[in-house]
Structure 1
Amino acid sequence: MDVSTSLRIVELPYEERSLLHSLNQTIFGDTQVIRTFERTDLMMLVAWLRGTPVGFKVGYQLQPRTFYSAKGGVLPKVRRRGIARALLHAMLDRVRERDYRRFVFDTFPNMHPGMTILALNEGFQVVQAGYNTEHSDYRLRFAHLFPSNGE
């Protein structure tokens, strides 16, 4: 099913972040989206399919020219329809417009193999890897560099 015509991705105002908590609970069974929403350049995106919220992506400034995508997910019943990819591209577009040079995110390939596949398919590079004892999985950091205006 092609969702491109009925999918809408919007940036969520800070005051409406409770929607992220609800989606996060449904998708991951977890009450904590990120440790704190008090972040520089916080960005919260929600994907809506035919009027229903079906996914989210949240990130923030990690360093002055680096944006970190902290968490995201799609409801199980609508996965494998390009929604995660659409959320990723929507965030990349907004991050590029805000003049960041680098976009990074972490994933745990055994817990979330789909994100590893998506990152590799979209041309991201592995820039860091290590074992995370909290999650009992390897953590991979992927990065995408934006060309500067002179490139």
Structure 2
Amino acid sequence: MNFSFYKQIPEKEVMVGILQIHEDIFHDSSALIRKMVNKSKILIVVAIKDSRVVAYKMGYELSNEKFYSWLGGVDQNYRNLGIATKLMEKQHEYLRKHGYKIVQTKTKNRWRQMLILNLKNGFNIMDTYTDKNGEIKIILEKNL
């Protein structure tokens, strides 16, 4: 497994892989690239196996010291192999090296595996709120 870092929209082949995984999980990737372009200091970590994108994790800067871990996913054929954990470790290592002190993320109760992964990796629940769709969102942060 190889891991690649991007600080901008990746080349077409990689982006197609990200969009496929995103579509499978979130059922809509139509606006993802447009949203990515508007993020400050975006960072994308991609897991590649046999020239194929099997997972991604992306986020962006909130401030000089705080980074928001925004979206991510693992191809269903590669789940439960520790890839999401490895992507998180790679992202946090990069963030530490670049001076960030805190990483924040948000999740929902229905994304239980993500919530558990975050808690197991040192995130603390900071707050909750109800989003525009009436779903409770959980705000988590980790000191790097």
Aligned length, in residue pairs: 138
Change (3 A) 1:15 1:140: closer
Hey, what does 2:136 align to over in structure 1? 138
Write the deviation string for residues 73-104 of structure 1: whole angstroms up to 9, x where unpaired. Answer: 01111111101111111100101111011101
Give how far 1:15 is off.
Answer: 4.3
What 5-or-longer segments of structure 2 have no aligned partner? none
Identity of aligned residues (%): 22
Say whether 1:27 aligns with 2:32: no
Q: Distance in 2 between matches of 1:17 and 1:71?
A: 18
Give how far 1:132 is off.
Answer: 1.9
Hey, what does 2:92 align to over in structure 1? 92
What 5-or-longer segments of structure 1 have no aligned partner? 1-6, 147-151
Q: Distance in 2 between matches of 1:13 and 1:98?
A: 13
Q: Distance in 1 between matches of 2:62 and 2:37?
A: 13
Instruction: Write the letter of the residue equivalent to 1:129.
Output: T
Using the TM superposition, name which of 99-108 and 123-132 deviates more.
123-132
Q: Distance in 2 between matches of 1:113 and 1:17?
A: 31
Hey, what does 2:108 align to over in structure 1? 108
Write the deviation string for residues 55-74 of structure 1: whole angstroms up to 9, x where unpaired. Answer: 11111101221000110001
Asked if 2 retains the 8 angstrom alpha-carbon contact of 1:44 and 1:56, the reply is yes
Q: Distance in 2 between matches of 1:71 and 1:63?
A: 18
Q: Distance in 2 between matches of 1:27 and 1:54?
A: 13
Say whether 1:46 aligns with 2:46: yes
Instruction: Write the letter of the residue equivalent to 2:126.
Output: V
Instruction: Write the letter of the residue equivalent to 2:127.
Output: Q
Say whether 1:9 aligns with 2:3: yes
Asked if 2 retains the 8 angstrom alpha-carbon contact of 1:108 and 1:138, the reply is yes
Alignment RMSD (CA, Å): 1.8
Instruction: Write the letter of the residue equivalent to 1:120.
Output: L
